[in-house]
Every structure is written in C-alpha cells, then in structure tokens.
Amino acid sequence: MKIGIACDHGAVEYKTEIIAMLVEQGHEVIDCGCDGKESVDYPDYGYKCAKLVQSGEVEKGIVMCGTGIGIGISANKVKGIRCGLCFDTTMARLTREHNDANMLAVGQRTTGIEVVKDIVNTFLTTPFSNGERHIKRI
Ligand code: RB5
C-alpha cells in the first residue's frame, strides 16, 4: 500500500520507527517530515500529508505529534479527510469499520511504541464495514 506519514517535532522518533516497520512490511511510504527536534508547526505537516490522501496519491495517511490531537485536527480540516485519533487497537479497528477513516493520528507522549505499532497494523488491515448506517453518516 502507498502510505503518507507526517509528524511534528514531538513525534520524530515514532515516525522513524513506524516508517521502518512499514517499509519492512513492503509498503511504499511518502515521508512528509518533519525531520528534526527543532520546533515546528504541526498544521504544516498534517496538511501536507492530508493533501496526499485527498489527491489519491496515497491510500492512507498517518500523522503524529505529542498527543496526536493537533496534527489530527489539522488533517481533518482538509475536505475528504476522516482522521481518527487512536489510543488503542479497538479504536483503530472501529475508526476503520465505522468511520472509514483514511487517516490515523497517534501521540508519542501518550501511547507506547508497541501499542502504536499494533494500532497502525490494525488501522491498515481493517476494512470499512460498508454498513448502510455508516455510509449515511460519513
Ligand atoms: C508541540 O509542542 C505539541 O503541542 C504537539 O506535539 C501536539 O501535542 C499538539 O497537539
């Protein structure tokens, strides 16, 4: 799968780890930055990744910041984006099944890396349930 990924300075370590995992799994990853610890503004990176999803250049987007909140809000301002902030694999499964989320937000300060890896894997492998009530809502 082709996947976009972005973070702010608060989640560079997780971005590096998740990219390595995704590449190892055979995914193609477009890295939207940022790349260092210098303070940046998360909307710049959330927007960049969301535009890749909106245009169809990538199938899914993953964004990260300290909490996942700021960069997730930024992504959700782009038309057509449904970005779900997830703390566990149940949320990851349900945001795919019920919301047909095309982007995932996670936080480096709030969620352990092993949990984030499981969240990412659940998010990428769970299909939308396609139920009539969910289609109507999204
Ligand atoms: C950056 O200081 C921090 O505000 C950001 O990473 C994130 O937690 C915002 O939602």
Task: Write down the pLDDT at residue 33.
Answer: 97
- CATH number, domain containing residue 60: 3.40.1400.10
Ligand 1 site-directed mutation target among 44, 65, 85, 108, most atoms within 8 Å of CB: 65
Q: What is the pLDDT of residues 13-22, one digit of tens each?
A: 999 999 999 9
Q: How far apart are CA 124 and CA 8, in angstroms?
A: 22
- By the 8 A CB rule, do 101 and 128 touch? no
Residues with catalytic function: 65, 98
Whole domain around residue 128: which residue ranges? 2-137
CA 131 distance to own-chain centroid: 23
Q: How far apart are CA 125 and CA 1, in angstroms?
A: 10
Q: What is the pLDDT of residues 31-81, one digit of tens each?
A: 999 999 999 999 999 999 999 999 999 999 999 999 999 999 999 999 999
For residue 120, report the phi and psi dihedrals to the nearest 5 degrees. Answer: -60, -45
Domain count, the chain: 1
Structure token pair of residue 126 = 């769970």
- By the 8 A CB rule, do 60 and 124 touch? yes
